[in-house]
Amino acid sequence: MNTSGTSFGMYAYSGSAYATAVRNFDSPLSVGQTFSLQLGVNFRNGNKGVDINDSSLTGLFNFNVGANDYQVNASTLGLIYAADSIFTLSFEQKSGTMIGVTITRQTAAFGTETAFNSDLDFGAVMDNFKLYVSGTDDVSSQNNLYFNNLQVVPEPSTYAMLLGALALGIAVTRRKHH
């Protein structure tokens, strides 16, 4: 998960501490684009994870590590605890409000596991994501949430160029046939 030996981290020690980081997408994802990120967690106390939200910050999707469990939208994933868990979360814009969500976990003991894979109708468009951590037990870095490798593929500017080239190709083809 570390890129050039580093990753981002967040902490919130003690029962009432809470830290969040919210990032809006430059524009809503287009059909065919995928947002992905990696999360690294060790201890499963407190709460740590990511929310996918609409423009009013209403939660559309939640991945949480806490209460001694790994959960999606408050339902357990049934994964056995592993201290070196690295999760890769991918959100593919399939159509309108339909999103393909895939979560894989990589550990030394279990290798790579697909923890979740489903198409979900969010009922709204993904606008931003929020990383959070709260109420961990102590001041150990083992309680932190680590994240990295955030990306949108294809990148919006690349995607716009591809769509423009496709439109130009269609227009040229139509002109040749008339």
The tens digit of pLDDT for each residue in 64-116 reads: 999 899 999 999 999 999 999 999 999 999 999 999 999 999 999 999 999 99
Structural domain includes residue 64: yes
Structural domain includes residue 123: yes
Asked if the model's pLDDT at residue 49 lies above 90, the reply is: yes
Q: What percent of the chain has pLDDT over 70?
A: 85
pLDDT value for 101? 98
For residue 33, the domain's CATH number is: 2.60.120
Structural domain includes residue 41: yes
The tens digit of pLDDT for each residue in 158-167 reads: 444 444 545 5
Residue type, 113: E
Structural domain includes residue 1: no
Number of domains in the chain: 1
The tens digit of pLDDT for each residue in 140-164 reads: 888 889 999 999 999 865 444 444 5
Give the residue from 43, 34, 103 showing the smallest Cα distance to 67.
43
Structural domain includes residue 3: no
User: Do the Cβ atoms of 52 and 59 come closer than 8 Å?
Assistant: yes
Structural domain includes residue 2: no
Structural domain includes residue 122: yes
Structural domain includes residue 154: yes
Residue range of the domain that includes 130: 8-177
pLDDT value for 97? 93
pTM of the predicted structure, to 2 decimals: 0.83
pLDDT value for 162? 45
